[in-house]
Structure 1
Amino acid sequence: MGDIHWAREAGVAIITVDSPEVKNGLTPEMGRRLAAVCDEIDADETIGAAVVRGAEGTFCSGADRRRWNPGADQAEDSTYREFSAIYNAFRRVGSLAVPTIAAVRGAAVGAGINLMLATDLRVVATDARILAGFLRIGIHPGGGFFTIAGRTAGREATSAMGLFSEELDGAAAERTGMAWKALPDAEVEDFALELARRPAADPSLAREAVRSFRTELGASGMDWDAAVHFERATQMWSQRRRSEA
C-alpha cells in the first residue's frame, strides 16, 4: 500500500513518493520508510543534494484517507504514533544533510504541502494545485503548517491558504515566494535535477553550506519542531469534533 523509494543520479538522490492509486497519499508506513530513506542518504557522503517528487505526475495528495479515521481517539497510543510517523517524516526531510528540492507536479494538498515545504527549494508546475485544505475538511492544520508556510510564503499567503482555504497554482506560488520557479509540467523534474547537480558536484561543501543556510535563516517566531506539537492537540480535537458532527 504505497512506498517510498530512491535512486541516485551522480551525486543526487531522487526520492519518489509512490502510491499513485491515491495520488501519492501518505500512510504511516510510508512516513517511516521516508525517514529511513533519509538516514540512508545522510550515511552516503558521496550524495550532495536530493530531489523529492511524486510518481506519475502528482506530488502528494496528503494523508491516505483509507487509513484516516477521524472518529478514532487521536490520543490513543497506536493512533497517535501512526500519525506521528508522518509528521516526523516531514521533519526528517527538513533535516536531511544535503540541500533539497521539491519537484511539484499535479497536486500538493494537506500533508503534501507540508512535505513540499519541508525542502529547501521548490520548483513547481505552472498548473500545479497547491492547497492546504485543512479547514475545508473540518480539521485544524497540522505538521507545523503555519510555521513552515509562513517562513516561505509570508503572512498574507499563509493566511489565505491556512485560514481561508485559498488554492494556489504554480505561478501564484512563485509570486508569493513559496516556489523558486514555475515551469511547464514537463520541464519541472529536469530543471530540479539540473539545479540539484550543482551542489552535488561537491558533496562535502554542499553539506556544510546547507547546514549554515538553515542555521542562519532559522525560525523567527515559533520553531518548526515546537509548532508541530503546538498544532497537534488542536488538530486532534478538531478530528474528534468532525466525527461527532
Structure 2
Amino acid sequence: MNEEVVLYEVRDQVATITLNRPQVKNALNEEMHTALYRAFDEANRNKDVRVIVLEGSDGAFSAGADLKSIATEEVGELDYGKYLRETYNKLVLQLMNIEKPIIAHINGIAVGAGLSIALACDFRVAAREAKLGLGFMKIGLVPDAGASYFLPRLVGLGKATELALGEIISAEEAERINLINQVGTPEPLIAHLKTVSPSAFGLMKKNFRAGFDKTLAEVLELEVETQRVAGATKEHKYAVAQFVNRA
C-alpha cells in the first residue's frame, strides 16, 4: 500500500478519521473498511479522546461502495449479504457501541453507503457545497449499511421513501428535513461537546437508541439505572459543587 486509505490524527482531545481515497471520491473498499474499524477502535480506547470526527479527503466525504474494486465478472456472483455482514454491518454496529460523540463532517459529496455511514454517526455537519443522496435503487439495490434503520427515524417514513429513489439534495435541504444537524464547519459543535460529561453523553446515547424499540416502562427503568450511574460520576459531583458555589 503506497498510501494510507484512512488517516488518523489526535489533536486537542479530538480524533479525526479521514477517508483517503481521493482518486475515487473516497469510495469504500475492503481495505478501507479494515482501516476504518481499527481507527475507530483506537479512538474509542484512547482516554484522551473526547470527540471523534469522520470526514473525507480532497473535498469529498464518500461516494459509497467502490463497485469498481470488484472484478466485473464477480459482480453477478457476489453475495451482497455476506459482503455487508463482513464490512458495513460490522462498522455500523461499532459506531453504535462507541459512547463518545461521533461527528460526520460531510465536507463534500456523500452518496450511497457513504451517506449511510454518516447517518450512523451521532451528528452530521455538512459543508454548504455538499451534496447528499442514496443511489441504491438506481442500480437495482436496496439502501443498506443501516440506512433502513436511521433514515426513517431522522426524516420520517414518507421522506425516507422519497429519498430512497435517489434524488441528490443540497446541504440546505438536508438541514431543512433534519437529515443533518447543521450546515457549516464542525468546530463550534466540537468545542461544545468537549464541555459535556463523557459518561452522561454515553448513557444518554444508550437511552435514546433504546427508546425506539422499548416500551415506556422499560425506558423509564433504563433511566433509573443510567441516572444512578451518572449520579455517581466525578463529573456530576464536580458540576453540582460548582453550581452550589455559584449560588
CA distance in 2, matches of 1:201, 1:154: 31
Matched residue, 1:210: 202
Quick check: 87-96 or 24-33, which moved more? 87-96
- Judge conservation of contact 2:136–2:166 (CA < 8 Å) in 1: yes
Moved more, 164-173 or 54-63: 164-173
CA contact (8 A) 1:25 1:61 kept: yes
Counterpart selection for 1:123 from 122, 125, 148 = 125
Structure 1 residue runs of 5 or longer lacking an equivalent are 223-245
The structural deviation recorded for 1:71 is 0.9
Show the 5 A alignment for 1:71-150. 71-74=76-79, 80-81=82-83, 84-150=86-152
Aligned AA for 2:22?
Answer: P
Question: Do the aligned partners of 2:99 and 2:201 also contact (CA within 8 Å) in 1?
Answer: no
Aligned partner of 2:230 in structure 1 is none
CA contact (8 A) 1:26 1:86 kept: no
Aligned partner of 1:182 in structure 2 is: 183
Counterpart of 1:230? none
User: Equivalents in 2 of 1:111, 1:219: separation in Å?
Assistant: 25
Letter in 2 for 1:144: G
Report which stretch shifted further, 88-97 or 169-178: 88-97
Q: Which residue of 2 aligns with 1:197?
A: 191
C-alpha change, 1:142 and 1:219, in structure 2 (3 Å) is farther
How many aligned positions are there?
209
Correspondent of 1:57 among 56, 59, 74: 59
Give 1:83 shift.
Answer: 6.1
SS in 2 for 1:36: helix
Q: Residues of 1 paired with 2:180 and 2:104: CA distance? A: 9
Larger radius of gyration: 2
Looking at structure 2, the residues matched to 51 and 3 of structure 1 have their Cα atoms a distance apart, in angstroms, of 16
CA distance in 1, matches of 2:43, 2:199: 12
Judge conservation of contact 2:100–2:198 (CA < 8 Å) in 1: yes
Residue 3 of structure 1, aligned match among 2, 5, 10? 5
Structure 2 length-normalised TM: 0.77
The TM-score, its normalising length taken from structure 1, stands at 0.77
Between the aligned partners of 1:136 and 1:34, the Cα distance in structure 2 is 27
| Structure 1 runs (4+) greater than 4 angstroms displaced | none
User: Residues 127 and 169 of structure 1 are in contact (CA less than 8 Å); yes or no, is this contact kept in structure 2?
Assistant: yes
| Per-residue deviation, 1:211 | 2.9
Q: By how many angstroms is 1:125 displaced?
A: 2.0
SS of match in other structure, 1:90: helix
Query: 1:139 and 1:219 mapped to 2: Cα distance?
Result: 30
For residues 219 and 29 of structure 1, what CA distance do their matches in structure 2 show?
35
Long gaps (5+) in structure 2: 215-247
Q: Percent identity?
A: 25
Cα RMSD between the aligned structures? 2.2
SS, match of residue 59 in structure 1: strand
State how far apart, in whole Å, the 2-side matches of 1:116 and 1:219 are: 21
What's the CA shift for 1:64?
1.3
